[in-house]
Amino acid sequence: MELNDKLEILADAAKYDASCASSGAPKRSSEGKDGLGATNGMGICHSYTPDGRCVSLLKILLTNFCVYDCQYCVNRRTSNVPRARFTVQEVVKLTVDFYLRNYIDGLFLSSGIIQSADYTMEQLVAVARELREVHQFRGYIHLKTIPDADPALIEAAGRYADRLSVNIELPTQDSVQRLAPEKNVHTIKLAMGNIRLKLDEKENEPKAPKFAPAGQSTQMIVGADASDDARILTTAETLYGSYKLKRVYYSAFSPIPESPKSVPLAPPPLLREHRLYQADFLLRSYGFQAKELLPDSGNLPLDIDPKLAWALTHREHFPMDLNRAEPQMIARIPGIGIRNAQRIVELRRMRQVRWADLARLRCSMKKVAPFIVTADYRPAQDTTPSDTLRKAMADVPQQMALFPELQAA
């Protein structure tokens, strides 16, 4: 098979893996040195950096042949899809050639399981080793690790890769046993635990060998089983606390032709995936707990974001006086983020915070209005029912026009 044909198949097969950002990678550059490539610590995988640059990586599978038959996976053993396999040298050549053409800033490499977990992991490590040692590649490398592989192979992967990831796939052990019988949740968590131990060793002993400086991540599929958002967020919260994950990624289940009857025939709303990412950010950065966002079983509301939903449920905290409130509580106000909360605290050390100050900080004035008190502002109707506020603030879907100029005329 021609290399371009392999690339078409294996790049398309990799699109279902969402866990491919490069945040946390150390800054490296080949400028003035031997080798090629660079990392800048910003997001990668077709993301936009704060200064507006779009950065990307080569995201491919080593192969989509697989001995596993995970029911939710397009590359499962019984799936009727075109198959291909790269050699180690072909992946290295593609990475180097694409970098020299300024197409990519790094590599995200995963694979189906071929022959055995150890053999597959050896192939992944061989790619990273050749890029680093032979071609002096200084760009970003993210390797998907195989949980059943020998820990020594995963340790070797950490020496060459910036980030490692072990996908837990589904939020409950029952779902994994039912939909991915060849996988074992205990083995997956054991691999995560071993990676964490290596990361802690490096953190506590600076002279220890380099190991995955951008940490580890995982991915959960949303909508492939009956797990609700409460269960998904509780699992994510446990993973963050137990394994010091940098990120948990969420991927909406995508049915394919001839899907088995054990998985849904229709995908979940993409907005559900978006709300989970918003809730995940609240867990990681705002100090929320999963039980605060969803105290009972169920899914996050789709019409409003999770922070607004929490505020509408906890009206006893509002309206909140910005000149007196604790910084962490200010950050929980809808329309005010962490950075603006810090700016408000700094401002009130010099003088009282006023309504116009929030406009200058570019806070979302429509959202903050019912929830704050400033030196010159108090909501006219701070007892407005939450249902009324929710209707006023809900995200209303709008149909985009094909020819807006003609409609305007």
CATH number at residue 138: 3.20.20.70
Domain that holds residue 348: 306-393
Q: Write down the pLDDT at residue 401.
A: 53
**Number of structural domains found in the chain:** 2
Q: β-pairing, 28-29 with 38-39? A: antiparallel
Same structural domain for residues 260 and 310?
no
Determine the average pLDDT of the residues in 352-376.
95
φ/ψ of residue 383, rounded to 5? -105, 15
Q: pLDDT, tens digit, for every residue of 281-333?
A: 999 999 999 999 999 999 999 999 999 999 999 999 999 999 999 999 999 99
Q: Is residue 17 part of a domain?
A: yes
Q: Do 257 and 154 sit in the same domain of this protein? A: yes
Q: Which tens digit of pLDDT belongs to each residue from 137-162?
A: 998 899 999 999 999 999 999 999 99
Going by DSSP bridges, is the β-strand pair 163-165/216-222 parallel, antiparallel, or unpaired? Answer: parallel
- Same domain, yes or no: 256 and 146: yes
Q: Is residue 377 in some structural domain? A: yes
* Whether residue 176 is found in the same domain as residue 311: no
- Is the link from the previous residue into 301 a cis peptide, with omega within 30 of 0? no
Same domain, 250 and 363: no
3-class SS at 388? helix
C-alpha to C-alpha distance for 85 and 61, rounded to whole angstroms: 8
| Same domain, residue pair 78 and 147 | yes
pLDDT at 73 exceeding the cut of 50:
yes
**Bond preceding residue 319 cis, omega within 30 of 0:** yes
CA 324 to each of CA 209, 339, 351, 352: distance values in angstroms, whole numbers, following the listed order: 48, 18, 12, 10
Q: Is residue 288 part of a domain?
A: no
Residue 2 CB contacts under 8 Å (≥ 6 apart), including other chains? none
344 falls within a domain: yes
In a domain? residue 283: no
Contact call for residues 306 and 279 (beta carbons, < 8 A) = yes
> What tokens were used for 384?
């407005």
Cα torsion 274, 275, 280, 286: sign: positive
Same-domain check for residues 315 and 198? no
Residue 291 lies in a domain: no
213 and 110, same structural domain?
Answer: yes
Indicate the pTM of the whole model: 0.87
Does one domain contain both 10 and 100?
A: yes
Average pLDDT of every residue of the chain? 88
> Is 338 found in the same domain as 239?
no
